[in-house]
Amino acid sequence: MRARLDDRLASMSTETANPNLAEIDRWPIERAVGAMLEGQQEAIVALESQTGVIARAAEAAAERLAGNGRLAYAGAGTSGRIGVQDGVELTPTFGWPEQRLAFLLAGGDAAMMRAVEGAEDDADAGQAAVGDAALGPGDVLIGIAASGRTPYTLGALQEARARGCLTISLACNADTPLLAAAEHPILLDTGSEAIAGSTRMKAGTAQKAALNVLSTAIMLRQGFVFRGLMVSMRISNAKLLTRGIAMVSEIAGVGEAEARAALERAGKDIRTAVLVALGMGLEDARARIAKAPRDFAGLVEGMRGR
């Protein structure tokens, strides 16, 4: 039975069974946990060959998003949820506007909390989701599917590219339609899972790590990071307020009290507060950041060189 199953799924390494783990359900649980953790490590190693590919995709996406375009994610099941998880973190971490995000999830919002049977097989729904989101030439769509064959995700990616979007795809099987359909295909060759076909494990880990790196690299190029600090993060609680004050103090070279006052004047916007603490007028600081949002470093250096 196992041999027949492997024959049918031989073209997808993520679906094949690992013969070395065939008895994992009978092992002592500590041994099973060790084997699964080893698989997680292998998932990260699978990304190493894609460093240049991810970098080129990030550069292209950052350039496309230099205007007011949106960053969109498309996927089904585990892959779709991982995309949503990555995207929603960009707003609190980097101040990326919520209106510049779009999530195309097979089965709709309900699929975030529970499986929607058959939704991933509907390519037309993927195409329609792109149309409903009105994605176009100024936008970037990331399509995610461990198999590289999910009809919903493929339909969305093909429609987005036809509409002029920049397209990026992540898949864990080589020579698959999803990789062929995107301008920037990223192969995460994770191979078989500890539990055959359970792509929430190695494949899911690789997808999450790749998206972490990809989206963060895009944010780097948007100017939302300065000297390794999240200078565009949203201050929404006491812990983040303390962190924001420390950033303003460090970058502007002022004391805590002055940093706090500048941050309050700037409406808790860290970049604006830094420029205010360096002596720039509030409205001037806001205008300059709005005009050159990707050149915060240049604005800081300019104030220091006066």
| Catalytic annotation, residues | 89, 120
Cα separation, 35 vs 29, in Å, equals 10
Helix extents (H) in the chain: 2-8, 29-45, 51-64, 77-88, 90-94, 123-132, 151-162, 177-181, 202-221, 238-252, 256-265, 270-277, 282-291, 296-304
Contact 219, 96 (CB under 8 A): yes
133, 135, 139, 142: CA torsion to nearest 10: 70
Tokens of 213: 């790196």
83 touches 75 (CB < 8 A): yes
Residue for token pair 């103090």: 249
- By C-alpha distance, which of 252, 65, 86 is closest to 140? 65
Question: What CA–CA distance (Å, rounded) separates 88 from 289?
Answer: 23
Residue 146 phi/psi, 5° resolution? -60, -45
Residue 21: DSSP 8-state: G
